[in-house]
Amino acid sequence: MFICTGNICRSAMAQGILRTRWAGSGLDELTVSSMGIHGLDHQPACEPASRISLEHGVDISGHFSRPLGFDELNQADLIFCMEMVHKDFILLFLPHLVDRVFLLASWPDKDSPKCNIKDPMGGSGKDYRLAYDIIARHIDRIIPFLQAKFS
């Protein structure tokens, strides 16, 4: 599960990247999803995130935002947040998930505010490209763990 603020940019890109990479691996199916802490419901991925993802062969044009669903969070094996505020928000309501909620950019090491992936919303194309590249790099870093654990 990937979590960001509105689920129309960073977590949507992360979901698309992991789904695309996993589908190309030939491994068993992996359930990948995303949500946002601000409760946006059924909004499409923002245009820059969709365009930049597609430039990298990742199609998120069919993505629609979803607010946090506590039942789904309780069932998730791993929950990757883009910023510390997202992690703190989830743990405020679901403290028992402490061993499953992480910052994407710091996992599996100790979290640090330096590991927040900045929200490019309202920024330039360069900001979206930077966010995409950071997210993709961290997903590539965790795929070997996911392959070992879930295949």
Work out the burial of residue 150: count CB atoms within 10 Å of its CB; fewer than 13 is exposed, 13-18 middle, 19 or more buried.
middle
The 10s digit of each residue's pLDDT in 5-54 is: 999 999 999 999 999 999 977 777 889 999 999 978 999 999 999 999 99
The 10s digit of each residue's pLDDT in 138-148 is: 999 999 999 88
What would the DSSP string read from start to end of 54-87?
HHTT---TT-B--B--HHHHHH-S-EEESSHHHH
The answer to whether residues 61 and 50 touch, using CB atoms and an 8 Å cutoff, is yes
Domains of the chain: 2-150 (3.40.50.2300)
What pairing do the DSSP bridges indicate for beta strands 2-4 and 34-36? parallel
Share of the chain above pLDDT 70, in %: 100
